[in-house]
Structure 1
Amino acid sequence: MIKKFLKKISNWLKSKLPYFIVTLLILLLILVFFYKRIVITIQSGEAGVLYMRFFGGTVTDYVYPEGVNIIAPWDHMYIYNVRIQTKFHDFEVLTNRGLPIQLSLAIRFHPAYEMLSVLHQQVGPDYINTIIIPEIESILRKQIGHYNPEEIYINKDNFLTEIIMKALDELGQNFVKINDVVIRAISLPDSVKKAIEAKLVKEQQYQAYHFQLKIAEEEAKRKRIEAQGISNYHKIISETLNQKIMKWHGIQATLELSKSANAKVIVIGAGKNGLPIIGNIPLEQAIENGKK
């Protein structure tokens, strides 16, 4: 009984074998043809969002991680770069005087991983040009429009950094995280730039001139103090150098000269006020000369 059943199955399989082979070949051809749509490899630093054509559209409650993922060929996997990226952007703003200024920005950002599927559904892959750049431009235009060209050119009180911090605070970073916004360059019209530079040069010259005046005033003050000190010194000497002191110095000088090996002619008591004469110069005059 069992043998008969197995034989029937074997005969049926043999009769259907060509159909099985054809079906298998068709499946293999489909697999080869749709391989890239079925087997999805998500590289390092990337994440995927799945769009299901017949079962609800975008999958918003799951983000596909790195590695190999198998999907139906009629569905589509959108791959996003979730690493920190840099976007360079140039645009023009107007100052409070209506003058145009060219700003060059460097924007560092990355999509929020957990919100990637919602970002894809509500914004799309071109989110950098859809939400990031327009919002940053709008905030910077609004803030910089309160300043004049000179304040912007010299970055007075480092206000550009404050503007950038305000821009980061005001940006809705639900879908995208803005790491930093750097102003790489500020370009003004040549006429405005030359006028500002000329003014800055004049201000530096003015400060240098006042610095030199300050030095001259300090030097004059020093000389007045020095002159007053010399005057006080001579006044004290003239008041204290009386005849008794001069005679005492004459005696000391005579004693010192007597010890000298050089030939000297000393006339004791021959000078004015009884002071000795050294050579042909009275000692009193010699002392006065030394004092001068």
Structure 2
Amino acid sequence: MERLPKIGLPILIAVVALIIILAKSVVTIDAGYAGVLYKLNGGVDPDSEPLGEGINFVAPWNSVIEYEVRQQEIPEKMSVLSSNGLDIQLDASVLYQPDVVNLAKLHKEKGRNYLNRVLQPAIRSAARSVVGRYTPEQLYSSKRDAIQEEIFMETKKIVESQYIQLNSVLIRDVTLPPTIKQAIERKLKQEQESLEYEFRLVTAQKEAEKVIIEAQGKADANRILSASLTDKILQDKGIEATVKLSESPNSKVIVIGSGDSGMPIILGNQ
């Protein structure tokens, strides 16, 4: 009886140790995350595949570093210079996520702080380079979409070789110095008014041309009609009209051959 506790204690210790080992060997990775395996005897293998969502079994002396692999957003407010040296404030959003396939390389070469080490410097460098090619007026109005696309493409060239997937760069706002903004707005207003005035002039000119064309057409028609109306045709028309009037029940007096060129004179009761 005295030997049972001595035998049971090592068994109990072994069971507890086994439970601890099993607990440390099971790693659960949440949805939207992936894991990088760190081996005690070798560190991170850059060619290893990431551990996926759910339960993963690893040796208890190794560890797992988790990364969020869903698309993420960082807001960026940058001060950059335009082509003529004016200070421009850009308010942008950067949509990105780590390259899951190369997650081990990202961790080994850049670490979990890759956002500050790689992505933010890249977006700022690209923004300075792109904005420096445009005037404040282009930034404020017509070229914003083109600038946004150029910043995206230049940033992508920098980060895609460093295991970061850049999805989009969105320019939310461009802030100019107040005096420059007011000057641009006045210029745009004047240009709009000038376009409206030119439109009215073109419209008036087209209306005038239309009236001239219609008048010319009428004049040509009258000239052709006058040339075709001979005395014989007029007499025939007069006779036709006389016959129709003679058939009318209205009171009238028709004097045949009493008008010019022998045309009838019609005397009614009106």
What CA distance in whole angstroms lies between the structure 2 residues aligned with 1:262 and 1:149? 85
Moved more, 128-137 or 165-174: 165-174
Q: Is structure 2 residue 181 aligned with structure 1 residue 193? A: yes
1:273-284 aligned at under 5 Å gives the runs 273-279=261-267
What CA distance in whole angstroms lies between the structure 1 residues aligned with 2:188 and 2:99? 45
Q: 1:172-209 deviations in whole A, cap 9, x for unaligned?
A: 43321212222233232333223222222221221221
Q: Is structure 2 residue 161 aligned with structure 1 residue 176? A: no
- 1:287 maps to which residue? none
Shift in alpha-carbon separation, 1:157–1:87, aligned structure 2, 3 A? closer
TM-score (norm 2): 0.84
What CA distance in whole angstroms lies between the structure 2 residues aligned with 1:244 and 1:67? 109
How far has the Cα of 1:64 moved from its partner?
Answer: 2.6
Shift in alpha-carbon separation, 1:100–1:23, aligned structure 2, 3 A? farther
1:17-166 aligned at under 5 Å gives the runs 17-26=4-13, 37-53=24-40, 55-62=41-48, 63-71=50-58, 75-156=62-143, 158-160=145-147, 161-166=149-154
1:136–1:171 CA contact under 8 A, matched in 2: no
Q: Helix, strand or coil: the match of 2:257? A: coil
Q: 1:42-74 deviations in whole A, cap 9, x for unaligned?
A: 123322123344x23334443333333345666
- Give aligned pairs, total: 266
Q: Helix, strand or coil: the match of 2:66? A: strand
Moved more, 17-26 or 27-36: 27-36
What CA distance in whole angstroms lies between the structure 1 residues aligned with 2:24 and 2:47? 22
Shift in alpha-carbon separation, 1:205–1:20, aligned structure 2, 3 A? farther
Q: One-letter code of the match for 1:169?
A: K
Q: One-letter code of the match for 1:209?
A: Y
Segments of 5+ residues of structure 2 without an aligned counterpart are none
Moved more, 248-257 or 157-166: 157-166
What CA distance in whole angstroms lies between the structure 2 residues aligned with 1:31 and 1:102? 60
How far has the Cα of 1:131 moved from its partner?
Answer: 0.6
Shift in alpha-carbon separation, 1:29–1:198, aligned structure 2, 3 A? farther
Moved more, 205-214 or 44-53: 44-53
Q: One-letter code of the match for 1:147?
A: Y
Moved more, 183-192 or 78-87: 183-192
- 1:260 maps to which residue? 248
Q: Helix, strand or coil: the match of 1:193? A: helix
2:123–2:151 CA contact under 8 A, matched in 1: no
Greater radius of gyration (CA): 1
How far has the Cα of 1:147 moved from its partner?
Answer: 0.7
Q: One-letter code of the match for 1:274?
A: G
What CA distance in whole angstroms lies between the structure 2 residues aligned with 1:19 and 1:192? 89
Q: 1:105-144 deviations in whole A, cap 9, x for unaligned?
A: 2222221223212222222212122211111110121121
What CA distance in whole angstroms lies between the structure 1 residues aligned with 2:145 and 2:67? 36
2:78–2:90 CA contact under 8 A, matched in 1: yes
- 2:197 maps to which residue? 209
Percent of aligned positions that are identical: 39
What CA distance in whole angstroms lies between the structure 1 residues aligned with 2:110 and 2:253? 117
2:102–2:163 CA contact under 8 A, matched in 1: yes
What CA distance in whole angstroms lies between the structure 2 residues aligned with 1:36 and 1:106? 41
How far has the Cα of 1:211 moved from its partner?
Answer: 1.7
- 1:8 maps to which residue? none
* Root mean square deviation of aligned Cα: 2.8
